[in-house]
């Protein structure tokens, strides 16, 4: 059966670079990209489960998913951005961050994990963040983003355990891409150390290299762009 790679969030900075790199590498029979801004059967909206289910059906019709990348995330929107202190917490903004950073990817897992083949080493990887690590949090702040990414990490861990019951060698992981020159990081790039702001195409290759180096023993974990494991 045909090998399929799917990219959820294929019009974002990292997502588009991942889709492009996968097409160029040619390791899969088909590379299917989905995004909110795309139309027809390439449309997906993380706040609309029906579109997620439809994307999963399209992938299943094309073959067996060998690689599913969830390249989505929300750090700021309009006038709203990461909180610097607890006094800035807002219920609606917290709910919005959870909807995009946790609930949407969790629903992708709901519909895509059952598609993983029983043989081989299929991978589902979602963009998480080092700041979502509870053990690594030494600065505080960015409460909603940190918490929603920490919740995503737990969803990935649970999905990894469940996936092995039907796909014993499957790998479900979170990936920290580093700071990438995209719209998500744009307002915060002034504080990035020289040499640590990655172009999207470089970030995509680095993440794909990390995935290539993973094995079934690594499922349920969080890895940085350089392959180092990040504690939950």
Q: Which has the higher per-residue pLDDT, 183 or 61?
A: 61
Cα angle for residues 38, 181, 132 (degrees, 5° grid): 85
pTM: 0.94
What is the band of 189 on the pLDDT scale with cuts at 50, 70, 90?
low
| DSSP 8-state class, residue 218 | G
Helical (H) or strand (E) element with 197: strand 197-198
Where would I find the H helices in the chain? 13-25, 49-62, 91-98, 104-112, 143-163, 200-212
Give Cβ neighbours of residue 47 (< 8 Å, ≥ 6 apart).
99, 100, 103, 104
CA 212, distance to chain mean position in Å, is 16
Edge to edge, the sheet with strand 30-34 lists: 30-34, 3-8, 64-70, 123-127, 171-176, 222-224, 229-230
What is the band of 194 on the pLDDT scale with cuts at 50, 70, 90?
low
Contact, 223 vs 37, CB < 8 A? no
| Per-residue pLDDT tens over the stretch 53-88 | 999 999 999 999 999 999 999 999 999 999 999 999
What is the band of 187 on the pLDDT scale with cuts at 50, 70, 90?
low
Fold of 3-230: Rossmann fold (3.40.50)
Tokens of 52: 């997620």
Domain ranges of the chain: 3-230
State the CB neighbour count (10 A cutoff) for residue 137: 14
Q: What is the pLDDT of residue 92?
A: 97
């Amino acid at each position: 059966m045909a090998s399929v790679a799917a990219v959820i969030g294929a019009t974002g900075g990292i997502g588009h670079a991942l889709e492009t790199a996968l097409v160029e590498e040619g390791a899969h029979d088909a590379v299917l990209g989905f995004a909110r801004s795309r139309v027809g059967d390439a449309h997906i909206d993380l706040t609309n489960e029906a579109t997620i289910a439809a994307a999963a059906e399209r992938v299943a019709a094309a073959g067996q998913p060998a690689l599913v990348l969830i390249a989505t995330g929300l750090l700021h929107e309009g006038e709203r951005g990461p909180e610097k202190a607890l006094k800035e917490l807002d219920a609606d903004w917290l709910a919005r961050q959870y909807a995009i950073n946790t609930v949407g990817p969790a629903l992708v897992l709901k519909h895509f994990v059952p598609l993983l083949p029983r043989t081989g080493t299929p991978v589902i990887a979602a963009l998480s963040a080092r700041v979502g690590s509870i053990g690594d949090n030494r600065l505080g702040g960015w409460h909603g983003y940190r918490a929603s990414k920490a919740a995503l990490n737990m969803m990935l861990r649970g999905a990894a355990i469940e996936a092995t019951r039907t796909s014993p060698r499957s790998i479900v992981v979170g990936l920290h891409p580093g700071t990438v020159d995209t719209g998500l990081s744009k307002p915060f790039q002034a504080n990035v150390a020289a040499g640590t702001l990655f172009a999207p195409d470089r970030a995509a290759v680095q993440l794909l290299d990390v995935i290539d180096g993973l094995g079934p023993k690594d499922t349920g974990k969080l890895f940085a762009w350089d392959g180092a494991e990040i504690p939950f």
